[in-house]
Amino acid sequence: MLEELVGSTWHRFITNKAATHYPEAVVYLDDIRLMAGIFFRALGGEGGLHVESSTDSEVYAKRSVLQRIAGIGKQTQYAWRDEETLRLPASIALFPSKQLNKDLYLWLTALSVVDVETGDWISRNQKRTAKILSIWPGLKSRYKALVDAHLQQRPNPTDLSEREAKQEQTIRTALLDPSQSTRLEYAKRPPQPVSLWLHPSPPPMEFNNTAAIHDPDLPEAVKEKKDQKKQKKRKSGNRTDMPEGNDGLMSFRLESLWSWGEYSKVDRTSTDDDDDDAMQTAEDMDNITVAQDSETTASKIKLDLDLPSSQYDDIVLGEGIPIDEWDYKKQVMQKDHCRIIPMTSRDTEAVELPKNLQTQARKIRRQFEILRPQRHWLSRQNEGTELDLESYINFLSDRKHGHVNSDTPVYRDLRNETRDLSCLLLADLSLSTDAHINNTSRVVDVIRDALFLFSEALSVTGDRFALHGFSSRNRSHVRFYDIKGFDDKYNDISRGYINAIRPGYYTRMGAAIRHATKLLEKEASTQKLLLIITDGKPNDLDKYEGRYGVEDTRQAILEAEKKGLQPFCVTIDEKAEDYLPYLFGKNAYILIKNAAELPAKLPLLYLRLTR
């Protein structure tokens, strides 16, 4: 115990002595993520990018004696930008002032807005800095304060070797005067990291702990949303070939080396251990190597990955409908790039409203009765069922005073007041909806109940509505489920189709929205609402991941708005606020944090949108 106490005390002491950061002034990325995203887009950055934490990078510069004793200073976190994300350090505590650390976040964000392709590390960052200060001169005071604070922390050139001193002096010159041409000369050791500049050589790949399955015949893995573990820090990674698994485990006692050996024919190239905390293992690693394997680990993923045979699959209603897709990299609309496959459930039976929803349905119907079309009198009509006494008396009075007008409307008529509105509800039925939200219900069960109560509410108002679902397996197989059409009556047959919905495959949302837009566009109503229910981000095979899927979905939503439709998204995805404001706008979506509340909240949301 005494040895442990002395060791831990020494470790804290030497680490604090060697540390060059200020924990009391730390600023975390989670606290400034929203501000950084807004600032990035305000300066002209691409709206589709989202802010994520960067990974640790190795530092090969000279370390102080205390740093070598404490074993610190080997890694740092740079900022950089790739096609889909703006990556910033997970935390910054480089300066004693919290405001300076916050300003460094904003400066690195601004530096990421400018694209510079040519030149070495120093010249690229110099060009970025000069361009930013030229376009936004209001940042000059903050940049000067950051440079002054950073130069105080950099090593003194007089304490370095000749070549290293020249490198340090070059960096100081580049920081103080970004417009001056500089060139970094070779030295035995690289210079100390420049915290005000972007990554000198961003890593080609990062490891995130959401595994993607690339086999086109395999649907996406089900995510356990309630018990999902998250990494505290992003990891750098690289790919390698999958081990063949032919190498066994050989164990023996050293003293029996010359007499015998024991061989256990056990494949230890991969493990399948229920007690293995894989996330804790990943958290302890600095670099993670991943390989693509066709095998599954049963204890990690428990689902049937086989596609249903044609005799059990849903009924295909046609050969498929060609649909366009947006390629944001080329900035072109790819004509007939996808194919919509309209489908209907094979095994459906007419059912009544489930008993567990009947009480809630009665309450919702009473709330929606205020929107029921009612008969009311319209006065001052040229034609009608009876005289409008007030208008007729005014007419007689005017005629007595010599003001004769034969066109005076003196009738009133009893007419029906109708709501001129059509709504198409599009439900995401990807395989992620097979995840459980509690011990009794899955996401798809919640969506099914929501469709029931939504239909009960709209059947009272008399509004025209349609119900559809979608999932996908690639661009040539976007399933579009017909649950209830605009001209179909809501009855036990319709409830049977709602009851038959089940999880599908992936989420090619852009194609589904475009087809739903075409269906809703045919309606003659003045107000047209496209209501989308989803539990996750757009994704599919054949490159429909990340920003590509987000940009295509956003383009589909913009197309719907141009055609007079009102798109609105209801989501239960906890990470939705990272991408839905970019897709729908800040006022055209709602996040329901407790998925079990979706059935009750959906009709009330519709009431708010259409009153």
What are 81's strand-pairing partners? 86
Both 28 and 90 in one domain: the answer is yes
One domain, residues 409 and 434: no
The answer to whether residues 397 and 482 belong to one domain is no
pTM of the model: 0.69
Query: How confident is the model over 524-573, as pLDDT tens digits?
Result: 988 999 999 998 889 998 889 888 999 999 999 999 999 999 999 999 88
Instruction: For residue 596, give the CATH number of its domain.
Output: 3.40.50.410
Residues 569 and 516 in one domain: yes
Q: Which amino acid is at 298?
A: A
Residue 211 lies in a domain: no
- pLDDT on residue 248: 52
Sign of CA dihedral 299, 302, 305, 309: positive
Question: Is residue 118 domain-resident?
Answer: yes
Percent of the chain at pLDDT > 70 equals 74
Residues 232 and 290 grouped into a single domain: yes
Within this chain, do residues 364 and 500 fall inside the same structural domain, yes or no?
Answer: yes
pLDDT attached to residue 562: 95
* Structure tokens given for 104: 């460094």
Note the pLDDT of residue 261. 45
What distance lies between CA 315 and its chain's CA centroid?
32
Mean pLDDT across the stretch 109-138? Answer: 88
CA 74 – CA 61 distance, rounded (Å): 8
Residues 530 and 397 in one domain: no
56 lies in some domain: yes
| Cα–Cα distance for residue pair 352/336, rounded to 1 Å | 40
> Is 396 in the same domain as 430?
no
Please give the C-alpha separations between residue 296 and each of 128, 203, 212, in angstroms, as whole numbers: 46, 28, 12
User: Does the residue 201 lie in any domain?
Assistant: no
Largest CA distance in the chain: 134
Specify whether 52 is located in the same domain as 103.
yes
Q: How many domains does the chain have?
A: 4
Q: Rounded mean pLDDT of 384-399?
A: 78
Amino acid 241: pLDDT: 57
Is residue 603, in this structure, part of any structural domain at all? yes
**One-letter amino acid identity for 248?**
G
Same domain, 298 and 401: no
Identify the domain boundary among 153, 176, 199. Answer: 176
Residue 336 inside a domain? The answer is no
State how far the Cα of 566 lies from the Cα of 530, in Å rounded to an integer.
6
Distance between CA atoms of residues 539 and 544, nearest Å: 5
Q: Establish if 474 belongs to a structural domain.
A: yes
Instruction: Please indicate whether residue 302 or residue 196 has the higher confidence score (pLDDT).
Output: 196
Containing structural domain, residue 73:
2-176
Lowest-pLDDT range of 97-106, 501-510, 538-547:
538-547
| pLDDT number for residue 134 | 92
Q: Based on the domain organization, do 112 and 244 belong to the same domain?
A: no
The whole-angstrom separation of Cα 512 and Cα 470 is: 7
- On the question of pLDDT at 68 being above 70, the answer is no
Q: Are residues 79 and 146 in the same domain?
A: yes
Residue carrying the six token digits 């096609």: 83
